A and B are shown apart, each in its own frame.
Chain A
């Protein structure tokens, strides 16, 4: 068990920069997600930690040991890591027992200890009794558990998971999320988890590393990346959001006021500035508002007034698209407040964040 540190890591494939100057500090026992759209460099970063790809530049430390730099490169087999792939990568020619025992066998662990550790680990992932089965006789979820057991069995410095749940169906995926959390609680192993699914990242991780086009956009816990996104990309990638062009008019510490642009009458909104402290009044940007942070009220009570153009009943909420001066605002509202189409409504903004463009 140990920490994982990346310093100024760069990876180029030919002329393409896949990972650009990445710095991450993962503490012992933390569970960290790399989150981003496909092609953002998250998997490449994970593979560099594993030693499957060699960085073009920068340094990687595992458990305070330098494993990768310009002159130094420790091959994957000497890094003491566990890894789980999207397609499980269970060796089809070995039984469940031999799959899980393989890392121990390579470390020349005595036979009796191998047996004990394998059965203990299989029990941990809920696969006790499946030792003699072949992978072809297992379901997707079961293969996933075997892959987890194989990655855990030799108590690695860290466990790397590359989109491990994306091949499972929705129900099973949710179930496995909690199993991974439980497993992490029991073993307290450092976990790095690559995913493009924001809710998975939010449920699982102590820390989320949001990436786009090879660069880190923000590192923070679920609450901060959701409520205080560092930029428009993060705000847009995680959850739904309305973005409205605006100009900052007032600023005091983390609070301020903006005036919306492109509206017929002057509309002023209060907002917070978690990542734009150095912004000064007069600067243009966007104000970002989550749909659930807007309340629909009678027109005279709202700070903004618009007309309902579309609506969708989603069970726990009703989603409305409200047109204000030619712009559509997405609003999520309590299903008890059921407005008809073309009704004029007022909008109360509970929380808005100013972001520089």
Chain B
């Protein structure tokens, strides 16, 4: 009797938590996003497609749309090429220093894209870019060979910061693939290249497609790179055009209408990419079959080994070492444009941003506070949702899964517009220009990280562990405290850090939401850059890079411990 009573009570608490979670996600995510869609079809209080007609009839509106498609397509092509080649070299050849190369190739993934863009403007801006100056000095011309402020410039930087998506998925597939699938093809009579074409490539295609999708979604959703590189040469994409509209009509709602229409378009483009990749994947009726032996076929590069390593070294130098060095060196310059000589370097910029300049001090304080609150809130909320989705059999738990995952595939710009629509008096609550609207947006956008991370940890806990605890006499709550929480602790710490780091340097969302007193580090770096205070923005950017690297190191450590202790 006591048992049934306890079960009943537990189920009703579960239902209560479940309903609460659904409510929070609907208010936080579903309603704001629905508002974007709704408003895009509103003209003067009536339903109409007028906004869309306006979008597609003015060049300044449809051009950004086509630019977004063009940028997305070109970036996907370049990132995929780079990603596949690097993945193959690391996973399937006897190239030396594999472990080191692997770590290095993932560095671009950690660097905030807008900081990468700043670095590349320092290197390749006509006239003053370090690389341009170097070439002009060597060849004695006054004509700069490169101009970063172009479509190709945006694609170049975008590809360099997005190829890790393809690299990670393809490397994983190449390493997991059962080597006997290729060996049996060799024995059947296929030469090395024939095997690659007939067996290896078709089998990693799903991984390539998933990687391409991630690149596409991140590229079209990115604000920082096209804002820093493209706006100067009047190349606008959807994200920057939406930003312009919101800037142009600050206070009024004139621009908001068109911004919502462009946002919907952006959302649909991302959705189309998602649908297309799902369709391609669904036509492949197989997944990579993991082999039992962990000895993938290794191609001996022979006499090509060191030439290839040399090419990689140059690639790494140009794409990683040079931009990072440029940002760091610039951050020590007493003034922008001075030659890099010891007498021109000092710590003055750092002293200024940390102790002298109220704007950056406020930004640092805000960002830390926001990142901390967002990380705590998402981890808490994400854990509850993850537990319901993974460990209970409640009806409708899939809805939670969907709602928590949704904002991740929706561009940050759209999330920002959605928050403005929902929280500027629409429901009697006006959070505009406050700390809270940024926090709510962060929680909505980054919940996914916490949810996925904790879900993964929970899935690793075999039900028998909980059952054993219950049989030993533990109540549900006791079991939760003594068994579940200790086992997912590494997952919780990891999810905290995985939200903390990107929110600490967030730009895309906060650039729409900051008020005079609520600026963030990302926005500060961006504004300082736009105002031409390059060495100050470089100092702030360097600070961010150092913090991000430290954070990534911590995540690596935590997740390593995690795989050891949970099972």
Contacts and interface: CB of A to CB of B under 8 A. Distances in A.
Interface of A: 50-52, 75-83, 85-87, 89, 91-93, 102-103, 106-107, 134-136, 147, 150, 154, 160
At the interface, is chain B mostly helix, strand, loop or mixed?
helix
B187 A79 contact: yes
Contacts of A76: 183, 186-187
Contacts of B198: 102
Contacts of B516: none
Which of B183, B187, B284, B287 has the most chain A CB atoms inside 10 A of its CB? B187
A145 B191 CA distance: 25
Given A87-B292, A89-B181, A106 B186 contact: no
Contacts of B191: 75, 77
B286 A106 contact: no
Contacts of B175: none
B365 interface: no
B184 A136 contact: no
Interface in B169-194: 178, 180-181, 183-191, 194
21 contacts: A50-B183, A51-B187, A52-B183, A75-B186, A77-B188, A77-B189, A77-B194, A83-B183, A83-B184, A85-B180, A85-B183, A87-B180, A89-B183, A89-B184, A102-B185, A102-B198, A103-B189, A106-B190, A136-B286, A150-B184, A154-B189
A93 B187 contact: no
Contact of A82 (B185, B187, B190, B286): B187
Interface residues of B, number: 24
Interface in B286-306: 286-287, 289, 291-292
Interface string B136-165: 000000000000000000000000000000
A244 B181 CA distance: 48
Contacts of B199: 91
Interface string B363-377: 000000000000000
B206 to A, nearest CB: 10
Interface in B197-232: 198-199, 202-203
B188 A103 contact: yes
B188 A92 contact: no
A93 B284 contact: yes
Contact of B202 (A51, A82, A86, A93): A93
Nearest to B285: A134
Nearest to B186: A76
Contact of B188 (A52, A106, A134, A135): A106
Nearest to B292: A87
A80 B186 CA distance: 10
A152 to B, nearest CB: 11
Contacts of A79: 187
Given A83-B187, A106-B190, 14 more contacts: A50-B183, A51-B187, A77-B189, A83-B183, A86-B292, A87-B178, A87-B292, A91-B185, A91-B199, A92-B287, A102-B188, A102-B198, A134-B286, A160-B187
A80 B178 contact: no
B111 to A, nearest CB: 36
Given A85-B180, A91-B181, A135 B286 contact: yes
A50 B187 contact: yes
A77 B203 CA distance: 20
Given A87-B292, A89-B180, A92-B289, A77 B187 contact: yes
Contacts of B187: 50-52, 76-77, 79, 81-83, 160
Contacts of A93: 202-203, 284, 286
Contacts of A150: 184, 188
Nearest to B286: A92
Nearest to A84: B184
Contacts of B184: 83, 85, 89, 147, 150
Given A89-B181, A93-B286, A134-B285, A52 B186 contact: yes
**Residue from B183, B184, B203, B285 having most chain A Cβ neighbours under 10 A:** B184
A334 B382 CA distance: 66
A103 B292 CA distance: 25
A196 B402 CA distance: 49
Contacts of A81: 187
Nearest to A98: B198
A102 B289 CA distance: 20
A11 to B, nearest CB: 15
Contact of A77 (B180, B190, B289): B190
Contacts of B186: 51-52, 75-77
Given A85-B184, A87-B291, A92-B203, A107 B285 contact: no
A147 B285 CA distance: 19
Contacts of A89: 178, 180-181, 183-184
Contacts of A136: 285-286
Contacts of A107: 189
Contacts of A91: 181, 185, 199, 203
A98 B202 CA distance: 14
A214 B245 CA distance: 75
A135 B181 CA distance: 13
Contacts of B194: 77, 106
Contacts of A80: 189
Give the most central of B198, B203, B287: most A CB within 10 Å. B198
Contacts of A50: 183, 187
Contacts of A86: 180, 292
Given A92-B289, A135-B286, A106 B203 contact: no
B182 to A, nearest CB: 9
A136 B191 CA distance: 26
B362 to A, nearest CB: 56
Contacts of B188: 77, 82-83, 102-103, 106, 150, 154
A160 B186 CA distance: 13
Contacts of B284: 93
B437 to A, nearest CB: 49
Contacts of A154: 188-189
A134 B203 CA distance: 14
B192 to A, nearest CB: 8
B189 A106 contact: yes
Q: Which interface residue of A82, A91, A106, A147 has the most chain B CB atoms within 10 A?
A: A91
Nearest to B203: A93
A2 to B, nearest CB: 16
A117 to B, nearest CB: 14
B247 to A, nearest CB: 50
A51 B202 CA distance: 24
A319 B496 CA distance: 61
Nearest to A52: B183
A76 to B, nearest CB: 4
A150 B183 CA distance: 13
Nearest to A137: B285
B529 to A, nearest CB: 48
Nearest to A82: B187
Contacts of B189: 77-78, 80, 103, 106-107, 154
Nearest 9 interchain pairs by C-beta: A92-B286, A89-B180, A103-B188, A76-B186, A106-B189, A85-B180, A83-B187, A89-B184, A93-B202
A107 B178 CA distance: 25
Contacts of A77: 186-191, 194
Chain B CB count within 10 A is highest, among A80, A85, A135, for: A85
Contacts of A83: 183-184, 187-188
A263 B188 CA distance: 60
A136 B287 CA distance: 10
A136 B285 CA distance: 8
Contacts of A87: 178, 180, 289, 291-292
A78 B284 CA distance: 31
A87 B185 CA distance: 14
B275 to A, nearest CB: 22
Interface string B44-84: 00000000000000000000000000000000000000000
A121 to B, nearest CB: 13
Question: Which one of B183, B285, B292 has the greatest number of beta carbons of chain A within 10 Å?
Answer: B183
